Amino acid sequence: MLWEGLTMYSIASFRDIVDQPYPYLQNLKNLQGKKIVGTVCTYAPEEIIHAAGALPVRLFGSDSAIHRAELHLQSYCCSLVRGILEEALADRLDFLDGMVFPHTCDSIQRLSDVWRINLKKTFHADVVLPVKLTTAGARQYLIDVLDRFKADLERQLGREITHDDLARSVKLYNQIRLLLQRLYRLRCDHPEVLDGRDYHTIIRAAMIVEREIFLESLTAIVADLEKTVMQTKPSHLKRLVICGGICTHPDIYEAIAEAGGVAVGDDLCTGQRYFDGIIDEALPPVEAIAGRYIRRAVCPAKHTGITSRGENIIRTVRQCRADGVVFLLLKFCDPHAFDYPYMREMLERENIPSLLLEMEDQSQAAGQVQTRLETFVQIL
């Protein structure tokens, strides 16, 4: 393993961890006694989990055939949710000490129910966030939910979470998000310095790797990339923004490149939505964390306005000087499917071309997907 024995990681080390996260996580548990808490959504309060001395880890489906999960979930639950349950039922997630389920989509809520009943080796926590984030009571409700989650986590992990613990975690996550924002802007302005697969790898690693080591490693990576800007030739490929929920297969970036395009921006929870927004360190930590949830770019399971996501994607297209938008729709992902029609109409009114690709979590971007991408790029 490329990460073994290292105190700072390269992109290649990150790729090794992202491709095979279980050995890395099991190693942390065996050698350091690290508590590991699984999450399924960017609305999981990672700062609070980290402040409790645990490592928050985002789970991403399964590369194996799904059999056991089919007995517990409807066939129209997305493959991401079914894949996570399959991994747990097959005892491949035994390194977890607990699971945190923010209530966003119906499928994640059903996964939470099944997990609570059938997987009792780990503690189970629901974080029921408000759906509409702009109401008068949303902020206080959110603060109350996070306070309850903090108390539950203290009880489950047997450790008090102090004000200083939270403040340190908030500061750490702010530093990581600022660096990821620099990386995002760098790729928008100079996509030639970092290919899409490596960008995808870094964002995924941010959700897995010990955050202190990740921060130190990312600081060096971003500094090195910024130095290479003057040494690379500008890209003249068609510039695209990717919009959707998750992107679990980096081959979509290669498919875009082979079609003559380059992804220069995104609205993904495995992308810009993960690091959007900075926490106000002048406020009490829990209140400040709640404030970021309200300000950050929303997913379709939350609302700040009827057309807020459409406005955000148009703003992203303008900022990234993109030629078009590719919607990645995970099959059976109802929230994103509901949003797609009005977002497409908003893009059409702004004369911004778009392409819809419906994919399964386990499928690769090949064949028909490649042909459709090539046709789309040719008309831009």
Domains, the chain, in order of start with CATH, read 34-161 (3.40.50.11890), 236-380 (3.40.50.11900)
- Over range 114-141, report the average pLDDT: 91
Rounded Cα gap, residues 287 and 210, in angstroms: 25
pLDDT of residue 362: 47
Sheet holding 123-127, edge to edge: 54-58, 35-39, 98-102, 123-127
- Over range 100-123, report the average pLDDT: 91
Strands (E), 103-231: 123-127
**pLDDT tens figures, 212-260:** 999 999 999 999 999 998 787 777 899 999 999 888 778 889 999 999 9
How far the first Cα of the chain sits from its last, in Å, is: 42
Q: Which residue is associated with the tokens 């893009």?
A: 347
The two three-digit tokens of residue 260, written as one number? 């003559």
The two three-digit tokens of residue 307, written as one number? 């057309």
Beta strands at 54-58 and 324-330: parallel, antiparallel or unpaired? unpaired
Rounded Cα gap, residues 165 and 174, in angstroms: 14
Rounded Cα gap, residues 328 and 125, in angstroms: 29
Rounded Cα gap, residues 350 and 353, in angstroms: 9
Global pTM reads 0.95
**What value does the mean pLDDT of the chain take?**
91
The two three-digit tokens of residue 52, written as one number? 């409790």
pLDDT of residue 205: 96
b/e string for 155-190 if b means 16 or more Cβ within 10 A? ebbeeebeeebbbebbebbbebbebbebbbebbbeb
User: DSSP of 290-353, one letter per residue?
Assistant: HHHHHHSPPPTTSBSSTTHHHHHHHHHHHHHT-SEEEEEEETT-HHHHHHHHHHHHHHHHTT--
The answer for residues whose C-beta is within 8 angstroms of residue 132's C-beta and 6 or more apart is 138, 302, 303, 304
pLDDT of residue 152: 95
Percent of the chain with pLDDT strictly greater than 70: 97
Under 8 Å between Cβ of 201 and 15? yes
Q: Which long-range contacts (CB under 8 A, 24 or more apart) does 165-169 make?
A: 165/51, 165/52, 166/47, 166/48, 166/51, 166/285, 166/286, 167/281, 167/285, 168/51, 169/47, 169/48, 169/50, 169/51, 169/285
The two three-digit tokens of residue 30, written as one number? 């065996």
Rounded Cα gap, residues 44 and 100, in angstroms: 7
Rounded Cα gap, residues 265 and 204, in angstroms: 16
pLDDT band at 1 (very low <50, low <70, confident <90, very high): low
pLDDT band at 7 (very low <50, low <70, confident <90, very high): low
- H/E run at residue 7: none
Beta strands at 123-127 and 354-359: parallel, antiparallel or unpaired? unpaired
Determine the distance from the C-alpha atom of residue 361 to the mean position of all C-alpha atoms in its chain, rounded to a whole number. 14
For 274, counting Cβ atoms within 10 Å of its Cβ (0-12 exposed, 13-18 middle, 19+ buried), the class is buried
User: 365 pLDDT exceeds 70?
Assistant: no
Sheet holding 238-244, edge to edge: 261-267, 238-244, 324-330, 354-359
Most confident of 55-64, 263-272, 326-335, 362-371: 263-272
